[in-house]
Structure 1
Amino acid sequence: MGRKLRLGVLVAFFVLMLSACTYAGTYKLTVNKGTNCVTVYEKQGNNYVPIKAMICSVGANDGTPSGVFNTCAKYTWRPLFGNVYGQYATRINGNILFHSVYYKKTDPSSLKTVEYNKLGQAVSMGCVRLTTADAKWIYDNCSLGTQVTIINNGTDPLGRPKSIYLGKNASYPNWDPTDPNVNNPWHKEGVKFLANYSSLHKTINASDNLTSQQLAEKIREGVTAYDTANNVISYDLSYNIHPTAVGEYDVKYYATDILGRYAEIYGKLTIK
């Protein structure tokens, strides 16, 4: 009787897993190995529409199999080859999973930084590596059975986003800046500007007769923007100034980084 009960439980378990792996949910995912990009498609009416793109790293030496699969398991933390761990893992097929860039242990402050900076390159053992935020998005939103199509190459309808670089000036290089963990110290960081008073309060002469490009270059002198991870980034200007019109004018400097974090500062330009 005990053996029959155990057998029944096993059969029920495998039926449950089979149904999970054949159920198609709201989303479909496409992994483009040629561009290292994942595109999320959402069912809208009778069609699937691209709504989100994710930078990824697929397997080196064509280590990620092409084909159509259905997700069938999820793990908050998952042991990986090499005695390391992936966060928010979703099994695609066999040993192939979506997961974060790997960690040295089941600790979100143990990110392998050099591997994080390889996102966008085919460098994994076969799994599809993602930022922690993107791995968690799939983990949270894509039900078991979600269809995953892995292609060799093709066009990404939304393009491939970039990932932030964790260089020598990164304040917390062993944390993924995208990780929503409440203890993530990156949450306190953001875009910032470096400029002294004189850089933000400039004076030019109307007689200089600067071109619009020369005026913009003058306004930018001495002002530098940095992203959340302290990399130099470009920034925009907002002003309404004619280079030969005498007066005092407000200037706005503003920037948004790859993480979507924003900052702005203000200065003045005097034309005499």
Structure 2
Amino acid sequence: MSKGNINYKYLRRRKNWFQRNWKALIIYIILILAVLGAGAFVCIRFTPLGSKLGITQGNESKENKASPGADNNAQGDGSNKNNGEQQTKEVTWIDLKEPEQQKEVSYTVPAGVAYPYHIKVNRAANCVTVYGIDESGSYSIPVKAFAASCGRAGEETITGENYKTSDMYVWRLMVDNTYGHYAYRISGGYLFHSVPYLKAANNTLETEEYNKLGTFASLGCVRMCVRDVLWLYENCPQGTTVDIYDDAANPGPLGKPESIKIPLDSPNAGWDPTDPDETNPWHKESATLSGVQDITVKVGDTVDFLKGVTAKDTCGNDITDKIAVSGRYTTDAAGEYTMKYQVTDAIGSIATAEMKLIVTK
């Protein structure tokens, strides 16, 4: 470009303008840069772009680096605690239900029925089931079940259907010179009666024979404890039908009840524990629980409710394995929880006790 083409006058004017306004120009440039910088900061901090770049509000980014588990996928209550708080642990509650007690079957004898019951003896299972009559006249309602002792090998109890009960005796001399209490004839020389007594007296029970209840032990009759044979004696009139059959696999619709055992060295050994006689010394005894006391554990610990706890039945036999514990508790949180212990023995005596489970931090 030749020198003649340069507009020196224009250049001098531009130079004079910059000289006069350079300070203001610098201020404008600084303001523009400040506005742009602030906008960029807000955009990065409060938009998904900031999350992708690892920039979040406050100290959250640092907290997440320190606690990898405290993210949006946290389990439990689903809350992500800020300010260094730990995630809340989910509380699991444990419900221990009370054991179901064997309930008496609800049965009302229909009016005008001469024979309200039908007795079935399962010889093979040593179990007696009593059936009540339904609206159609059939004996289809199982009402009672009793453990029994039928004839031992060589002295088997008869089998058959439609035997009719007849003679009834408060005490009956047996063929081996023992006595049966509440004897009730089935057919011929076969009777329902108690476990044998040495005399016609309530305190002369043959204890060893009593402890065989539920097994084959008799000379052909059907032995039962006093409580059970007395029920037949009082509720099944003479002429009641009796069937005797074999089914070892199925004792009956109500199952086969347990029988309590009498320690041979017990001072009460001559008495049947189920005998309702008011002078029966067993009436002063009952099932018991021992060792039940409050337990203290820390959050997260396991609890052994049965440690140091024992139970005995009316006759003093150990039935610790029958103890049931019920109640609602958790060891995931501090608190106090009331728990109940219960045990029921073979003759229906029930013992209960309560304790507190104390869970501390």
Greater CA deviation, 233-242 or 139-148?
233-242
Instruction: Return the structure number with greater relative CO, CA threshold 8 A, min gap 6.
Output: 1
Determine helix, strand or coil for the equivalent of 1:200.
Answer: coil
1:247 deviates by 2.3
1-side partners of 2:340 and 2:309: how far apart? 12
- Please give the TM-score of this superposition, normalised by the length of structure 1: 0.83
8 Å CA contact 1:169–1:231 kept in 2: the answer is no
2-side partners of 1:128 and 1:260: how far apart? 22
CA RMSD for the aligned pairs?
A: 1.8
Match of 2:268 in 1: 172
Q: What's the % identity of the aligned pairs?
A: 41
Q: Deviations over 1:2-33 (max 9, x none)?
A: xxxxxxxxxxxxxxxxxxxxx97221111111
1:159 deviates by 1.1
Give the counterpart letter for 1:47 in structure 2. Answer: S
* 1:1-272 correspondence runs (5 A): 25-45=115-135, 46-48=137-139, 49-61=141-153, 63-68=156-161, 69-153=163-247, 155=250, 156-167=252-263, 170=266, 172-195=268-291, 200-206=293-299, 209-210=300-301, 214-215=302-303, 218-233=304-319, 234-272=322-360
Give ranges in structure 1 of 5+ residues lacking alignment: 1-22
2-side partners of 1:169 and 1:189: how far apart? 16
Structure number, greater radius of gyration = 2
8 Å CA contact 2:149–2:224 kept in 1: the answer is yes
Aligned residues: 240
Structure with more strand by fraction: 1
Determine helix, strand or coil for the equivalent of 1:240.
Answer: strand
Determine helix, strand or coil for the equivalent of 1:31.
Answer: strand
- Please give the TM-score of this superposition, normalised by the length of structure 2: 0.63
1:129 deviates by 0.3
2-side partners of 1:169 and 1:251: how far apart? 36
8 Å CA contact 2:208–2:264 kept in 1: the answer is no
1-side partners of 2:243 and 2:207: how far apart? 29
Give ranges in structure 2 of 5+ residues lacking alignment: 1-112
8 Å CA contact 1:29–1:40 kept in 2: the answer is yes
1:53 deviates by 0.7
